[in-house]
A and B are shown apart, each in its own frame.
Chain A
Amino acid sequence: MNNTSLILIIVGTALVNNVVLNQFLGICSFLGVSKQMKASISLGGAVIFVITIASAVASLLYDYILKPLGMDFMKTIIFILVIAALVQIVEMFLKKKSPAVYKALGIYLPLITTNCAVLGVALTNVQDGYNFIQCVTSGFGTAIGYTIAIVLLAGIRSRINEKDLPGPLRGAPIVMIAAALMSIAFMGFGSLVL
């Protein structure tokens, strides 16, 4: 357990196994919100915030409550409820304590409950047997990867919007083709030796 392994986890989750382009988690918001650059950046910020906290809480819950009690199989139910509650609490806390951040994140905060990336990261961390610090790091790295992907796609889409496309490709198909090309680019990170 040293600093290099944490950096490897961040690079691995953010670039090599990018949560959107490689693992296909959080596709709904990736395709839906990437229409506007500003919205994508806000959503990215909210996702970094929530995923990091959620993976910390999920890790503690699993290590100190679920595992000692032998309730491994309950992890899906517990995690989804904890995430839903957590998002609510974070929202209320931010509203009270730092209205500026709350306003910047806006409606993207509650949207994250159903973002499958949050539950996905919590479950993968547990499967990989990460300890608390590794869980938080991998959550943070994953969220960074999500933000990179959605901001890049938003940039590409703002260019696509100005172009005259063949009819059938307009809308969802061209966005997915752009995502495919991004995914090919991200495959290049796979050759990083980790």
Chain B
Amino acid sequence: MKQYIERLWNGLVKENPVLVLMLGMCPALAVSTQAANGIGMGLSTLAVLVLSNFVISCLRKVIPDQVRLPAYIVIVASLVTVTELLIEAYLPSLYETLGIYIPLIVVNCIILGRAEAYANKHTPLLSIMDGIGMGLGFTAALTIAGAIRELLGAGSVFGFRLLPESFGMTIFIQPPGAFLVFALIIAIMNAIGIKTRQRKLVESGCDGNCALCSAVCETRDTDPAAEAEQKGGAEA
């Protein structure tokens, strides 16, 4: 039981996908214009993440190791299509606001990252809990950023007016505001000593296979040129 709760805590705080691991930044920056959008996007991703973790964990002994990444992509893409159709049918207004970012959940690095780093090594139940934890962490980060942007940009949170309408600094709901708010959140976390742990993810997660990981990682940051040269040298 304890390890299931540990998974939740891990995803929500210790390895928060957006704020600590810096994965899935694209949707995080794009849809956090309002707190409600953050929740909508967060929960859609959570649904896909939980299901994909479950399916991949169930099939982990069936999928051959060499073709696992294409197999994961097909599984995730199918689940995303199902989610997209469900949102279109039952939550048309959310579908309108999130737009292109719903199908783009396929290329959200959190999902493939968790499949590689966790689901293909653990039991289905634990993988589901990991998905829920990571999904909630993503939702929390998006909602917090969305609330800050909505408060500063429009003077309200979840549509409730907290500040007079004349207060709104529209720049915060426009694209530059997304970069600014996330920069400040990460700077505050740095200041109070929560270190972002990109390196650790690489060690435990992606086995150095940078080709199929879109995480902003140290390995890839520092030596792509050197690596390319090595590769070229080895072939020559």
Q: Which of A32, A81, A110, A177 meets B179, CB within 8 Å? A: A177
Cβ < 8 Å to B, chain A residues 104-124: 106-108, 110-111, 113-116, 119-120, 123-124
Please give, as numbers and ranges, the residues of chain B lying within 8 Å of A167 by CB-CB distance.
Answer: 190-191
Contact of A24 among B175, B211, B222, B232 (CB under 8 A): B175
Binds B, one of A47-55, A56-64, A69-77, A140-148: A69-77
Q: Does B70 contact A (CB under 8 A)?
A: yes
Flag whether A187 is at the interface (Cβ < 8 A): yes
Chain B contacts of A24 at CB under 8 A?
Answer: 25-27, 29-30, 175, 178
Q: In the complex, what residue of chain A is closest to B82 when comparing beta carbons?
A: A73
Judge if A127 is at the interface, Cβ distance under 8 Å: yes
* Interface residues contributed by chain A, number (CB under 8 Å): 56
Is A103 an interface position by the 8 A CB rule? Answer: yes
Contacts of A170 in B (CB 8 A): 190
A89 interface hit (Cβ, 8 Å): no
Q: A173 and B225: CB pair below 8 A?
A: no
Check B26–A26 contact: CB distance below 8 A: yes
On whether the beta carbons of A39 and B174 are closer than 8 Å, the reply is no
Chain B residue at minimal CB-CB distance from A119: B107
Q: How many residues of B are counted as interface, with CB atoms below 8 angstroms from the partner's CB atoms?
A: 57
| A168 lies within 8 A of B220 (CB) | no
B49 at the interface (CB under 8 A from A): no
17-71 of chain A: CB within 8 A of chain B: 21-29, 31-33, 35-36, 38-39
Contact with A114, one of B107, B184, B191, B196 (Cβ below 8 angstroms): B107
Question: In whole angstroms, how far apart are the Cα atoms of A32 and B228 in the complex?
Answer: 16
A-contact bits for B69-85, CB 8 A (1 contact / 0 none): 01001100110110011
Chain A binding surface SS class: helix
Contacts of A171 in B (CB 8 A): 190, 196
Contact indicator A172/B186 (Cβ below 8 Å): yes
B63 at the interface (CB under 8 A from A): no
Docked pose: A170 CA to B174 CA in angstroms:
24
Chain B residues within 8 Å of A108, by CB: 224
Chain B: minimal CB distance from A30 (Å)? 9
Q: Mark B140-178, 1 if CB is under 8 A from A, else 0.
A: 000000000000000000000000000000010011111
- Interface-centre pick from B78, B179, B210 (highest chain A CB count, 10 A): B179
Determine if A76 and B224 form an interchain contact, defined as CB atoms under 8 angstroms apart.
Answer: no
Chain A residues positioned under 8 Å from B216 (CB to CB): 28, 31-32, 172
B73 engages A81 (CB within 8 Å): yes
Whether the pair A77, B74 counts as a contact (CB closer than 8 A) is yes
Interface contact A176-B107, CB-CB below 8 Å: no
Cβ of A62 to closest chain B Cβ, rounded Å = 13
Q: Among B103, B190, B213, point to the contact of A173 (Cβ < 8 A).
A: B190
CA distance A107 to B211 in the complex (A): 8
Q: How far is the CB of B150 from chain A (nearest CB, A)?
A: 17
Complex alpha-carbon distance, A26 and B104, angstroms? 11
Q: How far is the CB of B108 from chain A (nearest CB, A)?
A: 8
Cβ–Cβ < 8 Å partners of A123 in chain B: 100, 103-104
Of A5-13, A129-137, A178-186, which binds chain B? A178-186
CA distance A179 to B182 in the complex (A): 11
| B228 close to A183 (CB less than 8 A) | no
Q: In the docked arrangement, what's the CA distance between A169 and B188, Å? A: 9
Q: Is B91 close to A, CB under 8 A? A: no
Given the complex, which residues of B lie within 8 Å of A183, measured CB to CB?
175-176, 179
Residue B6, interface by CB 8 Å: no
Cβ-closest 7 pairs across A and B = A106-B228, A180-B179, A176-B183, A168-B191, A24-B30, A32-B216, A110-B211
Interchain residue pairs with CB less than 8 A apart (7): A24-B25, A31-B216, A35-B222, A168-B191, A170-B190, A173-B186, A174-B183
Known contacts A103-B232, A183-B176; is-contact A28 B100 (Cβ 8 Å):
no
Residues of chain A with a CB closer than 8 A to B78's CB: 77
Given contacts A28-B214, A108-B224, A177-B179, contact A184 B30 (CB under 8 A): no
